[in-house]
Structure 1
């Protein structure tokens, strides 16, 4: 495989360095090529270890946010990936959780919460935990049990639910699910 970059691949890398991440559609429009061309370029760049592809987007491989590299405040697992949950306290302290299960437990035990964020399970971007759609009791175990997954879109959560079961819930309902 040729290790040198094409002009288009250089353009992709420059945009990702500048913006952190970009959707495949944005890259296709910026470089005036088809989305399939971008997919092929991203596959090559991913094989070379330069980018990380996500559903519909890409980011530089070494740009995992610092905030998700700390251990879970509840169970000690790694907080890297599509399941991370972050509780920001009014004091400025930040508590990281490996998944929505631990994040919601942390939420119930913390005082002075300013804001909570969670990762959209499908797209890998941060969303407000208060506005997220939670999928409880599904057949997919990805971290702590019982698994609770978070989504930014109700429609996508419904589609995921049709394949893996479970119940859609608000944050309050998901907390009640955990607490019994």
Structure 2
């Protein structure tokens, strides 16, 4: 397949899925991820897609007001995994998971009035700033990677790690790990 044909197929796959991972494009087209990155460069320059962690997402596609997508990657948020930011002026942003939430939090840190998420086990709403995070456990939760799960108590997060692996991080450590 010629590069121009491959880029057109990439455009089709992005339009169909709204958010597409580089690894999925690589598998679908039978080329390396590096080739996908090269093919994406002119598509990104067109401005109708943006690069997200591990993939690309359509830009400017409006979601219904009652069902907005993740502020960072565009996925539909799952209320059990959502990370919510209350910004100055009472503007609310919702990320699909702690991975996207922490990344978005780092982008708007000076504007954040409050950040909340849910404990992964009990589903109780907790302060994101006081939460403990498990980075990249072996269990797959069906959202962004590397996976980040939030816990209210350090001890519970530690027991989870003993069973499912991952690294235990405080809020500042989690932001630092994800933004490196």
What TM-score results when the alignment is normalised by the length of structure 1? Answer: 0.60
Deviation at 1:92, TM superposition (A): 0.8
Deviation at 1:135, TM superposition (A): 0.5
Cα deviation code 1:78-123 (max 9, x no counterpart)? 2223211001001110000000000001101114110100111111
Structure 1 runs of 4+ off > 3 angstroms? Answer: none
Separation in 1, partners of 2:79, 2:93: 16
Within a 5 Å distance, the mapping from 1:61-140 to structure 2 comes to 69-110=67-108, 111-140=110-139
Verify the 8 A CA contact 1:130 1:171 in the aligned structure 2. Answer: yes
Within a 5 Å distance, the mapping from 1:46-57 to structure 2 comes to none
2:146 maps to 146
SS at match of 2:155: helix
Deviation at 1:167, TM superposition (A): 1.0
Separation in 1, partners of 2:73, 2:152: 25
SS at match of 2:90: coil
What TM-score results when the alignment is normalised by the length of structure 2? Answer: 0.60
| 5+ residue gaps, structure 2 | 1-65
**68-77 vs 156-165, which deviates more?**
68-77
Deviation at 1:69, TM superposition (A): 4.9
Separation in 2, partners of 1:81, 1:88: 16
Superposition RMSD in Å: 1.5
Cα deviation code 1:57-78 (max 9, x no counterpart)? xxxxxxxxxxx95321011112
SS at match of 1:134: strand
Separation in 1, partners of 2:135, 2:119: 14
Verify the 8 A CA contact 1:81 1:124 in the aligned structure 2. Answer: no
Aligned residues: 113
SS at match of 2:93: strand
